[in-house]
Every structure is written in C-alpha cells, then in structure tokens.
A = this chain, B = another copy of it.
C-alpha cells in the first residue's frame, strides 16, 4: 500500500499520516476524524487539564481501540523576570495608548505547562499508543515511565543534531520539522532561526543521521507533499495547517479567513506571540514589532502583555494582534471533513506514487 510501512506498523495505523497536534484548534473531534480516515489521532495536551484530556481520549477511542497520540511541551520554564516583562510592556506601550488600554493593569499569566509528574501519571493511566514531545524531551525518569507504560515515543527535530539527540535517548521515531511548518518550531538545541532548514533539505539529512523512522513535517498540504516526503526517505508525514480548514477544527473566524486567503509568501517565523519562534500569517504586530524581536520575555509569557491588545483589536474586527498560525503550504489546502481529507490524502498520494513509478 505504501513504499514504507515502518510507521504504520509501529503505530498500528492504516495510513502513514499523523495529525499535527495543534494546541487550540485541535481537539477530540478533529482527532477522531483523522483516526476514522486511517491516520493517527493526535491530541495536543499543553493547554488542557487532566480531566479534559481524559474526556477527549474517551471520545476519540469511542467504542473501538483507536491508536492515539498525546502531545506535550517540554520547555524548561524560566524564572520570572520583571525587568524583561517591563521592557516588553514598554515596547507595546504605543499600542496600549492607541486602544486606550491601561498599561499598568496586570496582564493575565500565560500557562503552557511542560510535561510533569502529574501528566506522566495520566499517561500511565490512559496508556496512549504514542506520546509526542515538542521542545526537546522531559527528564529521563519521566521518559522511562512513559516507555514503561508501553507508549511509543516521538519528538520533533529541526536539525540533524537534534534528531541524533532524540534518537540517542530512545525515541522510536523522529519528526523532522522543516522550516515551512506552521506554529511553534520544536527547536531545543539551537535558537538560531536563520539557519533552520527547509523540509526538502532537512528530511534526507535526518534520515541519514538516525536509524529510527523519520516523519516529515512542514510544507505538506496535499498528495504531492506526501509523495515527496516518501521520496526524501520519510516513513510518514505529519500534517497540521491543512487540517485547520476542516469543520472539526476549532479555528476562530478571523484566523480561518486569514488561512483561506493566505499565499505561499504570507507567513513568517515570529516570536512576538509567545517568546518562541513560530510560523504565522504576517499581520501588523509581526510587521511592526517583529517578526523576531529581542524584547520578548521568555516562552510562553510574551502573550500576556499582548492579550489586552488582541482582545481590543478583535472587538473591532481586526486580527492585527492575533496569532494566525499557518505553514507555508496553506494555499494548497482544501476544505473537507477530516476523515474525508485523510482518505483523500492517502488515495491521491498512493495514486501519485504509482504514477511516478510507472514510466
């Protein structure tokens, strides 16, 4: 059925297509659709309570044993830095004035908890088939507990060095996240955005660097990208942006509008929304403050001071201060339910692979 069955065998899925975990837009409904289409159901847990995760897992599993991927962040939270927060607030002061907001009102804390002992216990309880990590890996004792719970472990690499680091620590597969990918970059051994490689260059170099299967991510929104990923040596693909247009995704209307009209050159990597580089559709705050700013406080706190601006702008119908995560291949995405989209990806990619080889 596929040129490479390492990932479909490892995860016990029909098609080598993983739903990218997207904190916010991705929930149980989107994951269920992908699973019904034969792909891997991923649930982004970084912003969810244990109770919510339990409930979502139960919805996704339904009446049958659906393989499921729980995704967690692994950043190291930095200590509070009031000076840096003040510097960021000061950088945004002109916008507070513009919207008539009180700059001295305390901003809401932004919480993106890294994987910890509590979440590890939940993993042991729920025993998902796959656990994926972003921004590196958790402490070795937690990683061992995940392994002992019978979960396959995967994580994102943005360089061949990061891939080797992950493989050396026992990851069962590596997600090679090319620079085209939307949302947060998983980079954890480097902070140099300028040297991040595109999917075309990254995937084969990661394939050559590790002996475990590689999952290609970044710039893949249709069958052509899937077939290309297999040509590059990947054993599967992880797709995010294209699933944002599914009716099951929880995407705010403004974000959806931006996605529908975005072209190949509509996005950039920015750190203004969270303090870490992530790819989104270029808007006013990215243009004027970023796309990369030296003034942002540590991840994930940058969003705190932006929240009042986001709320005020959105109330006026503007997405000028809203993160509009998107990869560079958004222009290829087609709107259909997640199950149908996954089945379409699979059948078109298989057809294309066959056609490419029948010369």
Query: Interface on A for B, CB 8 Å cutoff?
Result: 1-3, 159-161, 178-180, 190, 192, 194-202, 204-206, 208, 218-222, 224-225, 227-233, 263-269, 282, 291, 327-329, 331-332, 350, 352-359
* Contact between A194 and B231, CB atoms less than 8 A apart: no
Q: Smallest Cβ distance from A354 to chain B, in angstroms?
A: 5
* Contact between A328 and B197, CB atoms less than 8 A apart: yes
Contacts of A353 in B (CB 8 A): 231, 356-357, 359
Contacts of A357 in B (CB 8 A): 353-358
Contacts of A2 in B (CB 8 A): 359
* Contact between B328 and A231, CB atoms less than 8 A apart: no
Contacts of A269 in B (CB 8 A): 194
* Contact between B200 and A220, CB atoms less than 8 A apart: yes
Q: Smallest Cβ distance from A310 to chain B, in angstroms?
A: 21
Closest chain B residue to A179, Cβ basis: B198
Determine the distance from Cα of A267 to Cα of B1 in the docked complex, in whole angstroms.
38
* Contact between A225 and B200, CB atoms less than 8 A apart: yes
Pick from B190, B227, B267: contact of A265, CB under 8 Å = B190
Determine the distance from Cα of A179 to Cα of B269 in the docked complex, in whole angstroms.
13
* Contact between B356 and A204, CB atoms less than 8 A apart: no
Determine the distance from Cα of A221 to Cα of B198 in the docked complex, in whole angstroms.
13
Q: Smallest Cβ distance from A316 to chain B, in angstroms?
A: 26
* Contact between A160 and B205, CB atoms less than 8 A apart: no
Closest chain B residue to A158, Cβ basis: B265
Known: A195-B266, A356-B357. A201 touches B161 (CB 8 A): no
Q: Smallest Cβ distance from A223 to chain B, in angstroms?
A: 9
Pick from B161, B198, B225, B359: contact of A263, CB under 8 Å = B161
* Contact between B227 and A291, CB atoms less than 8 A apart: no
* Contact between A160 and B359, CB atoms less than 8 A apart: no
Pick from B192, B200, B355: contact of A180, CB under 8 Å = B200
* Contact between A195 and B282, CB atoms less than 8 A apart: yes
Q: Smallest Cβ distance from A323 to chain B, in angstroms?
A: 16
Determine the distance from Cα of A358 to Cα of B230 in the docked complex, in whole angstroms.
13
